[in-house]
Structure 1
């Protein structure tokens, strides 16, 4: 298994919807936040990407909500790059409240040339950062 990155947050009141638990759209935001923090931690920084003329864009998000989360709770989001194809990577996520998994998710990220706005091959050096 690839190394897991842990991103921790405390659920703010603003995340709570009319049903009294975290609104589902916040999970996508937190997935992006965790992915960005992980990328920064391995040196796949926005600056590096800009210098290379590349960026990552989300193609698909999938989320399985297992249990609700509530204001004031601390969540740990584990995330890791599960696989790489020519121009895409699958990133997985686990949302944990203590030891309890409350959601699991995935994103297909596509590596894009910022000039052409088209997918391009992920350099081996970039892939190595996540392994």
Structure 2
């Protein structure tokens, strides 16, 4: 029985969701989605999510600041194969109010409800010109804080 997004056992409430259709070009010699493709999917949903909250690339250029990934952890639990339709959920789970934020991901195959991947990424605000760490602009802080509250987050920092 194929499950809808509402029927999925998400790790956290209210995920931002991206639908993914796995195509032959996504697979590797083993016949399942390549590790590099999973990273691309994580990046795709991260940008889609943050832009939906108002942190568009135009805003990044205007402020001269952006959130850069500093670490990504991926747990590959089950393979995805060509022809699979997947749902990738993400949540903003941490924001220190100054420099750092984090998000979690869960990749699910609705056909059987199985979680294929769990991942976590951490980010630091950087100055676009110098590429050095920089304090988060107030408007980013407002957006990140609001997204954590709206998504049912506000979880304590992990690790």
Shorter-chain-normalised TM-score: which range? over 0.9
Larger radius of gyration: 2
**TM superposition score normalised by structure 1:** 0.93
Q: Which moved more, 1:1-10 or 1:86-95?
A: 1-10
Alignment match of 1:16 (pick from 3, 8, 27):
27
Which ranges of structure 1 fall in alignment gaps of 5 or more residues? none
Q: For 1:116 and 1:102, how far apart are their aligned partners in 2?
A: 38
Q: Is the 1:2–1:81 Cα contact (8 Å) retained in structure 2?
A: no
Structure 1 residue runs of 4 or more that deviate by more than 3 Å after TM superposition: none
CA deviations 1:63-92 (Å, max 9, x no partner) are 000001100111111001100122111110
Question: 2:132 aligned with 1:118, yes or no?
Answer: yes
**TM superposition score normalised by structure 2:** 0.77
Question: 2:59 aligned with 1:42, yes or no?
Answer: no
Q: Is the 1:22–1:69 Cα contact (8 Å) retained in structure 2?
A: yes
Per residue, is there more strand in 1 or in 2?
1
Alignment match of 1:93 (pick from 82, 100, 105):
105
Alignment RMSD: 1.4
Alignment match of 1:106 (pick from 104, 109, 120):
120
Correspondence for 1:76: 87
Q: For 2:41 and 2:146, how far apart are their aligned partners in 1?
A: 22
